[in-house]
Amino acid sequence: MIKTAKFGGSSLSDAGQFQKVAAIVKADAERRFIVVSAPGKRFSTDDKITDLLYRTAALARERQDFSAPFSLIRDRYLSIERELGLAAAHMGPALDEIEAALRTGQATADFVASRGEYLCARLMGAYLGVPMVDAAELVRFDENGAVDFSATARCCERLKGLDRVVIPGFYGAMPDGSVRTFSRGGSDITGSIIARAVEANVYENWTDVDGFMMADPRIVPEARVMHAVSYEELRELSYMGASVLHEDSIFPVRQARIPIQVRNTNRPEGGGTWIVNEGTLMKEHRQGLLAGIAGRRGFTMITLTKENLHKEVGFGYNLLKILDRHGISFESMPCGIDNLTVILNDADIRGKMDLLYHEIRTELKPDTVEIASSIALIATVGRGMARTVGVAARLFTALSEAGISSRIIDQSPKEMNLIVGVDQRDFEGAVRAIYRAFCE
C-alpha cells in the first residue's frame, strides 16, 4: 500500500503539532508522501503564516516597511526549529534569502506566499530525517495556469523510488519556472495531485476535526461523524454549505479512484471519514439512510401562477431569458400545473428585484407573482434514500411535529438529495428535526 498524507496548517502550527505529525507519519511505513501546509493558527486570535506572507508581500511591493509581519513569520519558524533542535534546517539563512527577495520589490505575491509551505516542508523533512522535494519541481502548470497532469506525472516519477519524502503544498511552477500558487486552502489540491501521480492507494487528509459531521455541530451538538460518504454526496453537501476539502482537490483522486480519508491529527485513533467512489460505497459503510444534512440561508422564491401554465410553450424559457439578461443563475425550479417557482440566491438579485418583477409582469403576463424572501434551503443527502419507501413522509412528519412548514420541496430524480425550503428563522430547528428523525 502507498499512502499520501497531507497535513493542514493547524496540524503544523507549532513544535508540539510537529511532534504529533511526526508520530503519525512514523507509525506507518506506508505513509511515504507527506504534503504539508504552512503553519496555521495556534489559538483563535493568532495569525496564519500565509496571511502574514500576503501582508508582507503587499507592503514590499509598495516599498513600505514590512518588518512587523515578517518578524512574526521569522519568529514562528525559528521557534519551531529551536524547540525541535533542527539547526540543520538552516531556517535563519532561508528567511534571510526571502527577506532579500522582498527588498528588491520584485518578488511576486505567489512566490512570497509559497514560502510558507516551502519552509515548513524543509523543517518537517529535517525533523523526519527524510528529503524534501520542492513542489516547483513536481507540480507543473500549463501556459493558462491549469495543472498539466502529464507534465506533473513525468516530474513525479522521481518520487517513486523514495521511501519517504516531504513536499510543500499550495504551489507549483509555470512553464517558465515561476512559482504559481493555488487558491487559498490549496495544499489539499497538492495532496490530491501527488496521490494521483504516485498512484497511491489512499489519500489521507489530516486536519483538526474528526471527519465530516453529519450536520453542522453548531446546530446539532450531538451530530455524528460520517463514516463514509461518496464523492457525489459530498458534492451535494458542500454545495449546500458543508465546509469540506478544497473543491478542486476532489477531481484528481476521484478520477483515479483513490479514496480520501479525512483524519484528526489531534485524535489519530479516530476512524475519520472515508470519501469513496459511488460504486465502492459498501452497505456496511453507512449507518442509516443519510450521508448528512446541510443548508444555506439567503434565498428568494418567486412563484408565478397562470391558468394552464403547463400548456404554454416557452413560459419557462422566457423566464430564464429574463434571468439570463441580468446574469442570474437559479438554484432550483420546481413547477406545478398552474404555477412555477424559481429560487434565486439573494446575493445575485441584490438591487435588481424591482426590474425583475417588472419584466416578469410585462413579458410573461402571469396571473399572480409572489415573492418570498428570507428563505433557507436544507439538503438531506444520502444515496440510501433512493427507492426507500417513506423517506419524505418521515422528513415532513419531523418538520410538522416541530411546527415548521416547508415552503418548497425539490427532489432530484436520482433521489439522493431532498431539498426543502423553510423560512430562515426556522432553519436551525428544521435541521435539528430532520437530523433527529433520521439519525437517532
Give the range of 104-112, 183-191, 289-297, 381-389 binding ligand ASP by CB under 6 A. Answer: 183-191
313: phi > 0 → left, psi -120 to 50 → alpha, else beta; which?
beta
Q: Which is nearer to ligand ASP, 212 or 396 (CB)?
A: 212
Q: Can you tell me which residue has the cell 506572507?
A: 53
Contacts of 363 (CB under 8 A, 6+ apart): 318, 322
Q: Which span sits near ligand ASP by CB under 6 A: 67-75, 185-193, 249-257, 367-375?
A: 185-193
- Judged by CB under 6 A, the residue of 24, 38, 123, 156 near ligand ASP is 38
Which residues touch 215 (CB under 8 Å, ≥6 apart)?
223, 292, 293, 294, 431, 435
| Structure-block grid coordinates of residue 67 | 518588518
Cα–Cα distances (Å) from 69 to 53, 58, 101, 117, 131, in that order, read 7, 11, 15, 17, 29
Stretch of residues binding ligand ASP (CB under 6 A), selected from 13-21, 92-100, 135-143, 179-187: 179-187
Nearer Cβ to ligand ASP, position 187 or 417? 187
Could you give phi then psi for residue 124, rounded to 5 degrees? -65, -40
Only one of the segments 83-91, 178-186, 194-202, 223-231 lies at the binding site for ligand ASP (rule: CB under 6 A); that segment is 178-186
Nearer to ligand ASP among residue 180 and residue 383 (C-beta): 180
Report yes or no: 261 and 191 within 8 Å, Cβ to Cβ: no
Per the listing, cell 485513533 goes with: 269
Q: Which stretch in 182-190, 311-319, 351-359, 424-432 sits in contact with ligand ASP by CB under 6 A? A: 182-190
Measuring CA to CA, which residue among 95, 167, 159 is closest to residue 124?
Answer: 167
| Binding-site size, ligand ASP (CB under 6 A) | 13
CA-to-CA dists, residue 79 to 16, 97, 122, 341, angstroms:
11, 18, 14, 58
Q: Does 211 bind ligand ASP (CB under 6 A)?
A: no
Site for ligand ASP in 153-172 (CB under 6 A): 169-170
Asked if residue 244 lies in contact with residue 212, where contact means CB atoms within 8 angstroms, the answer is yes
Residue from the set 3, 32, 48, 115 that interacts with ligand ASP by CB under 6 A: 48
> Among the candidate windows 58-66, 181-189, 194-202, 291-299, which touches ligand ASP by CB under 6 A?
181-189
Q: Report which of 163, 78, 158 is spatially closest to residue 122, judged by C-alpha positions.
A: 78
Output the residue with the shortest Cβ distance to ligand ASP.
187
Q: Which of 69, 125, 186, 259 binds ligand ASP (CB under 6 A)?
A: 186
Residue with Cβ nearer ligand ASP (188 or 216): 188
Point out which span in 12-20, 180-188, 315-323, 337-345 binds ligand ASP (CB under 6 A): 180-188
Interface with ligand ASP, residue 50, by CB under 6 A: yes
Q: Report residue 287: phi and psi, to 5°.
A: -95, 105
Under the criterion CB under 6 A, does residue 9 sit at the interface with ligand ASP? Answer: yes
Please tell me whether residue 57 adopts helix, strand or coil conformation: helix
Cell of 92: 535563519
User: What's the min distance (Å) between Cβ of 73 and ligand ASP?
Assistant: 12
Separation of alpha carbons 46 and 103, rounded Å: 26
**Mask 292-311, x = binds ligand ASP (CB under 6 A)?**
--------------------
For residue 393 the three cell numbers come to: 413522509
Q: Does 184 bind ligand ASP (CB under 6 A)?
A: yes
From the CB of 51, what's the least distance to ligand ASP, in Å?
Answer: 7
Applying CB under 6 A, among 69, 125, 168, 185 the residue interacting with ligand ASP is 185
13 in contact with ligand ASP (CB under 6 A): no
Least Cβ distance, residue 11 to ligand ASP (angstroms) = 10
Q: How far is the CB of 49 from ligand ASP (least distance, A)?
A: 7
Residues 79-138 touching ligand ASP, rule: CB under 6 A, are: 116
Residue whose CB is less far from ligand ASP, 184 or 365? 184
If we measure between CA atoms, which residue out of 6, 1, 3 comes closest to residue 263?
6
Give buried/exposed letters for 302-319 (b at 16+ CB in 10 A, else e).
Answer: bbbbbeebeeeeebbeeb
Residues near ligand ASP (CB under 6 A): 9, 37-38, 48, 50, 116, 169-170, 184-188
